[in-house]
C-alpha cells in the first residue's frame, strides 16, 4: 500500500487501532471513566482524520474501497454516530453490574464495520464489513446478560442475522457465477444487458433478502421490536442509525454501479417492500405502550420512506437518501438520548407511563423528546419535515405517484402515536413522577449538551436547510 492508501483509510485504521488500545487500557486496569474519555477522544481523532483527506477525494484503494465524497459523508455520519453513542454510554453503563469497559471495544469494531460498508465497492469488502458489524452487535445486544430480554434479543439477532448472511452470501455467489467478477464496476456490463439472465436475477433477489433482514424492512422485520426492547438503550440507538446507514450506503453504491434500478422485476419487488414497510410499520406502532418498541416499528416505516427516494434511480437519489439519513440519525439520537438519561440501574425508561407529566419535572428533557417526536412525524419547521419533503419530491419527480400517496397517508397514521407521546409529556401533575436518581454531574452535563446541540440541529435543518442541502448536492459516486 502507498502512503496515499494509508491516508485515505486513516479514519478506518484509527477505529481499528482504537479497539486494540482500549483492550490495552483494560489490561492496565484503568477506570471506566478514563476508558470512556479516551474512547471519546479516539472518535474525535477518527473524525479529524476524515476531514484531512478531503483534498484527495475521490481515491480508490485497490479494487475493494472507494473513498469518494459520498463515502466520506457516510463515514463521517457513522463516526459521529459512534461518538454520540459513546457520550450516552457512561451514565447508562456505570451503574450496571456488568463491567462496562469491554463495551467500548465492541463499539469501535461495530463502527469500523459500518464504515467499511460505506466505502466498499467489492463483494469481499462488503461481506467483511457486514460481519465485523454484526458479530460485534451480537455481543452488544446481549451485553446486559442478567436481563432476560437482553439474552433473548441477542439470540434472536444472532439467528436471524446468520440466516440473512447466508442469503446474502449465496446471492453473491450466484452473481459471481454469472458475471465472473466481484467488483461492482465489473458487473455493470452484464447487468446492463437488455435481458438480465435468470441466474443473475435470482442472485440479486437473494442479496435483497439478506439486505432486507439487515435493514428490517417488511417482511424481514420480525426481529426488530424484540431486539430494540432487549438491547441496552445506547446500543439500540446504534442499531437504528449507524448499523442501517452502513448497509444503505453499500446497497446504494451497488445498485447505482450496476444500474439495477432499470430491472423491472427488482423495481417491483422494492416498490412492494417500500409500501409494505410504510403501512405495516405505522400500523404496528399504533398500539405500542413501550417507547423502544414504538421506535422500532417507526424505524421500519422510515426505511420504507427512504426507499421512496431510493427506487427512482435518478440523479438526485444520492442526495435525497443522504439528507434523509442525516435528519433521521439526528432525530433518533435525540429520542434515545432522553431515554438513556431517564433510565436507572434496574430498568430502562421504556414504559410510556414513565413519561407522563415529564414536562413539569424535567422540562428540558421533555422538550427535547417532543421536538424529536415532531421531527419523526414530519411536522413543519423540523428536520423530519424537510427530509420527507425531499424524499417525496424525488419520488414524484420520477412519476412514482403510488409511493408518494402511500408515504403521505402512512405519515398521517404515524401522527397518532408520535403525538400520543407528546401529549403524555404534559398530562397529569408533577406529583406523578419519582425523584430522579443521583447521576454523574459531569457526564450528565456532557450528555445534556449533546442533546441540546442535536435539538438545535433538528430545528435548524427544518428552518434553514439550505446549507445541508448544498452539502449533499455536492456528493458524488465515482
- CA dihedral (256, 258, 261, 262) positive or negative: positive
Q: By the 8 A CB rule, do 419 and 375 touch?
A: no
Section 119-147 average pLDDT = 87
For the residues of 296-333, what is the DSSP string, one character each? HHHHHHHHHHHHHHHTT--TTHHHHHHHHHHHHHHHHH
Q: What is the pLDDT at residue 80?
A: 93
Q: By the 8 A CB rule, do 361 and 432 touch?
A: no
Tens digit of each residue's pLDDT (9 = 90 or more) over 258-310: 776 777 778 888 889 999 999 999 999 888 888 999 999 999 999 999 998 88
Section 233-252 average pLDDT = 90
| φ, ψ at 122 (rounded to 5°) | -150, 145
Distance (Å, whole) CA 351 – CA 395? 36
pLDDT at 250 over 60: yes
Tens digit of each residue's pLDDT (9 = 90 or more) over 3-36: 677 777 888 999 999 999 989 988 887 788 888 8
The three cell numbers locating residue 246: 452502513
The pTM of the full predicted model, rounded to 2 decimals, is: 0.92
Q: What is the pLDDT at residue 177?
A: 87
Q: What is the pLDDT at residue 163?
A: 86
426 vs 453, more confident: 453
The three cell numbers locating residue 369: 423528546
Q: How far are the Cα atoms of 42, 176, 222, 223 from residue 19, in angstroms, in the given order?
A: 10, 33, 32, 28
For 355-374, b/e burial (b = at least 16 CB within 10 A) is bbbbbbbbeebbbbbbbbbb
pLDDT at 85 over 70: yes
For the residues of 22-55, what is the DSSP string, one character each? HHHHHHTT--HHHHHHHHHHHHHHHHHHHHHTGG
Tens digit of each residue's pLDDT (9 = 90 or more) over 43-83: 999 999 888 887 777 777 777 888 888 888 999 999 999 99
CA atoms within 13 A on the CB side of 62: 11
DSSP letter for 100, please.
Answer: -
Tens digit of each residue's pLDDT (9 = 90 or more) over 334-379: 999 999 888 877 778 888 888 888 888 888 888 999 999 999 998 9
Section 449-465 average pLDDT = 91
Provide the mean pLDDT of the chain: 85
Q: What is the pLDDT at residue 454?
A: 93
Distance (Å, whole) CA 306 – CA 390? 10
Amino acid at each position: 500500500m502507498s502512503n496515499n492508501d494509508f491516508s485515505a483509510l486513516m479514519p478506518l485504521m484509527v477505529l481499528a487501532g482504537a479497539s486494540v488500545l482500549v483492550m490495552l487500557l483494560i489490561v492496565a486496569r484503568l477506570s471506566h471513566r478514563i476508558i470512556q474519555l479516551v474512547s471519546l477522544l479516539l472518535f474525535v481523532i477518527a473524525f479529524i482524520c476524515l476531514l484531512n483527506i478531503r483534498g484527495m477525494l475521490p481515491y480508490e484503494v485497490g479494487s475493494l474501497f472507494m473513498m469518494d465524497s459520498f463515502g466520506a459523508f457516510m463515514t463521517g455520519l457513522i463516526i459521529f454516530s459512534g461518538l454520540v453513542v459513546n457520550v450516552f454510554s457512561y451514565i447508562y453503563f456505570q451503574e450496571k453490574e456488568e463491567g462496562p469497559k469491554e463495551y467500548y471495544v465492541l463499539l469501535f469494531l461495530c463502527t469500523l464495520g459500518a464504515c467499511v460498508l460505506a466505502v466498499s465497492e467489492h463483494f469481499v469488502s462488503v461481506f467483511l464489513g457486514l460481519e465485523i458489524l454484526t458479530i460485534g452487535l451480537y455481543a452488544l445486544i446481549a451485553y446486559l446478560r442478567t436481563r432476560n430480554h437482553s439474552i433473548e434479543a441477542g439470540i434472536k439477532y444472532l439467528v436471524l442475522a446468520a440466516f440473512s448472511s447466508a442469503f446474502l452470501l449465496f446471492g453473491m455467489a450466484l452473481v459471481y457465477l454469472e458475471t465472473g467478477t466481484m467488483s461492482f464496476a465489473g458487473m455493470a456490463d452484464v447487468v446492463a444487458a437488455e435481458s438480465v439472465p435468470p441466474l443473475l436475477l435470482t442472485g440479486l433477489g437473494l442479496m435483497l433478502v439478506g439486505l432486507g433482514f439487515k435493514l428490517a424492512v417488511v417482511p424481514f422485520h420480525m426481529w426488530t421490536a424484540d431486539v430494540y426492547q432487549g438491547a441496552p438503550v445506547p446500543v439500540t440507538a446504534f442499531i437504528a442509525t449507524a448499523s442501517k446507514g452502513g448497509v444503505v450506503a453499500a446497497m446504494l453504491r451497488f445498485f447505482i454501479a450496476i444500474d439495477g434500478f432499470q430491472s423491472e422485476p427488482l423495481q417491483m419487488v422494492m416498490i412492494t417492500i417500500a409500501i409494505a414497510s410504510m403501512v405495516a410499520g405505522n400500523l404496528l406502532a399504533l398500539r405500542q405502550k413501550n417507547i423502544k418498541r414504538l421506535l422500532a416499528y417507526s424505524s421500519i416505516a422510515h426505511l420504507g420512506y427512504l426507499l421512496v427516494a431510493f427506487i427512482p434511480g435518478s440523479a438526485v437519489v444520492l442526495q435525497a437518501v443522504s439528507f434523509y439519513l442525516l435528519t433521521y440519525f439526528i432525530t433518533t439520537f435525540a429520542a434515545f438520548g432522553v431515554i438513556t438519561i431517564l433510565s436507572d440501574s434496574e430498568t430502562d425508561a421504556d414504559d410510556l407511563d414513565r413519561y407522563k407529566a415529564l414536562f413539569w419535572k424535567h422540562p428540558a428533557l421533555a422538550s427535547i423528546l417532543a421536538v424529536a417526536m415532531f421531527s419523526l412525524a414530519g411536522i413543519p419547521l423540523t428536520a423530519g419535515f424537510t427530509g420527507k419533503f425531499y424524499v417525496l419530491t424525488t419520488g414524484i419527480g420520477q412519476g412514482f405517484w403510488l409511493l408518494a400517496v402511500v408515504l403521505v397517508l402512512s405519515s398521517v397514521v404515524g401522527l397518532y402515536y408520535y403525538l400520543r407521546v407528546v401529549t403524555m409529556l404534559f398530562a397529569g401533575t408533577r406529583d406523578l413522577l419519582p425523584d430522579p436518581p443521583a447521576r454523574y454531574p459531569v457526564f450528565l452535563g456532557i450528555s445534556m449538551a449533546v442533546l441540546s446541540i442535536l435539538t438545535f440541529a433538528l430545528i435548524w435543518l427544518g428552518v434553514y436547510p439550505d446549507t445541508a442541502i448544498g452539502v449533499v448536492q455536492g456528493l458524488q459516486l465515482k
